Structure 1
Amino acid sequence: MSNDDVLLRRARDADQRAAADVWLRSYAAALPTVRCAHDERSVRDWFARVLVPQYETWVAHTGNGVVGLLVLKGAELKQLYLDPDWRGRGLGDRFMALAKQQQPDGLSLWTFQVNAPARRFYQRHGFTEAERTDGQRNDEHEPDVRYVWQPKT
């Protein structure tokens, strides 16, 4: 299946479990050295109680189900996760274009310092590093970096 066959749409209540599944698979694949601070049940509950009903959550949907997700909270990009089989196929680029369309005045996000592929992805999309921390403010206690994107004027 090609990237062109993937529909980006707002998440529905029925997408909560599938989106959480993508998050869990992606986290495990992309961040093998980072301890996940929440168990599977807590992640699913977070999707059901917070991400889908309260935030602007988008999913990438194929005929086979959800293969990616994007979560915005105003101008903050909170989550961008792709099923591992869908990395490197242009889906992240589509999500990033959507995020910029939804927040044309600018975006910010946090990612872990050890996540070099994500950092390269965000830099390629015009994000610049704004801050680094020792990770004491995130649940994983993992050093992180804040990126910002401002549209060119």
Structure 2
Amino acid sequence: MAAGATRSPDLRPARPADAGQVADVWLRSFAAALPGVRRAHSDDEVRRWVAEVLLPTHDVWVADDGGTVVGLLALSDGRLDQLYLAPDRRGRGLGDRFVALAKQRQPGGLQLWTFQANEPAWRFYLRHGFVEVERTDGSRNEEREPDVRLVWDPRGCPP
């Protein structure tokens, strides 16, 4: 590698041993991106959920930078359930790589929810071909935060 060049993190499937680092990225990213949103679960509950639910039941990928997890993507049937980056890794193309991977792994289409307050995430997904299909008052999510559902349909048809 040339002097001054930086290496991109590798995207790889998550392993059970990644649970602690995945939870750390999730917690740090949520706090940085959504400081005004009340979290519904404690740090310990998030760590337990990552290890016992998220990793075993979802298609989870991590961005691995020399053994350090700096981002995560979690997919399930037709859904992009989680995409979180370490705060210092935002704006460097890593999210773009994760969305491309999500579309590759779910070629039939994707949907996701994001909080309305998370305008940067919302704009990010719109740039990647997702369209808004629904807004709610937040009464159906644990945080009780207004949210928006976005859909990517590879056929280009309105959902």
Correspondence for 1:31: 34
Unaligned runs of 5+ in 1: none
Q: Please, which of 121, 141, 144 is the counterpart of residue 144 of structure 2?
A: 141
Percent of pairs with identical residues:
63
Matched, 1:41 2:48: no
Correspondence for 2:11: 8
Number of residue pairs matched? Answer: 152
CA distance in 2, matches of 1:150, 1:50: 27
Q: Please, which of 108, 121, 138 is the counterpart of residue 118 of structure 1?
A: 121
Larger radius of gyration: 2
Matched, 1:102 2:95: no
Matched, 1:92 2:95: yes
- The more displaced of 99-108 and 55-64 is 55-64
TM-score between both structures, scaled by the size of structure 2? 0.93
Residues 35-87 of structure 1, C-alpha deviations (whole Å, 9 max, x = no match): 11100000000001111111111100011500000000111100000000000
Query: Displacement, 1:152?
Result: 3.6
TM-score between both structures, scaled by the size of structure 1? 0.96
Correspondence for 1:22: 25
Q: Please, which of 79, 82, 85 is the counterpart of residue 76 of structure 1?
A: 79
Kindly provide the amino acid, as one letter, of the partner of residue 18 in structure 1.
Q
Unaligned runs of 5+ in 2: none
Matched, 1:58 2:51: no
CA distance in 2, matches of 1:107, 1:152: 12
CA distance in 1, matches of 2:57, 2:112: 18
Query: Displacement, 1:5?
Result: 2.7
Residues 108-132 of structure 1, C-alpha deviations (whole Å, 9 max, x = no match): 0000001000000000000000000
Query: Displacement, 1:16?
Result: 0.3
